[in-house]
């Protein structure tokens, strides 16, 4: 998977671990990911959440015959973060034939909850 010249690359995300049904990734809290008020932008958190859900979902499909696409995402921003890095932990809650639902928790270096998200992924047949 080529991550160069993508949003993943632009925001400094790094995939830490990838296994069936679970993905862990980090993202810095810096000038690329902060809002003008100096804290982690909620949109950056959502981008991180959808990224880990998408990568995790793609790992669970037959990649020659299927692809995945985000269908719905929501997020609750629990705590502000000014610097350092955040870690997203995504786990699959539902793995169906045409949809998947992923739970994503974003935490700081002390394991404090920053954001919680749920992402529904569509499984799409390739033509």
- State the DSSP code for 63: T
Give the helix ranges, DSSP H, for 7-97.
7-10, 42-60
Out of 19, 50, 66, 72, the active site residue is 50
Closest C-alpha to 114, from 81, 70, 90: 81
- Does residue 50 carry a catalytic annotation? yes
The torsion angles phi and psi of 46, rounded to 5 degrees, stand at -65, -40
Catalytic residues: 50
């Amino acid at each position: 998977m080529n991550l160069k010249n993508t949003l993943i690359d632009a925001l400094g995300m790094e995939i830490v671990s990838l296994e069936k049904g679970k993905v862990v990734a980090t993202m810095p809290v810096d000038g690329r990911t902060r809002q003008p008020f100096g804290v982690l932008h909620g949109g950056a958190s959502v981008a991180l959440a959808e990224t880990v859900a998408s990568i995790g979902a793609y790992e669970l499909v037959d990649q020659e015959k299927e692809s995945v696409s985000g269908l719905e995402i929501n997020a609750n921003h629990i705590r502000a973060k000014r610097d350092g890095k955040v870690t997203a932990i995504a786990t699959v809650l539902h793995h169906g034939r045409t949809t998947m639902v992923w739970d994503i928790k974003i935490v700081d270096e002390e394991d404090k909850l920053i954001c919680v998200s749920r992402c529904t992924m569509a499984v799409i047949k390739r033509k």
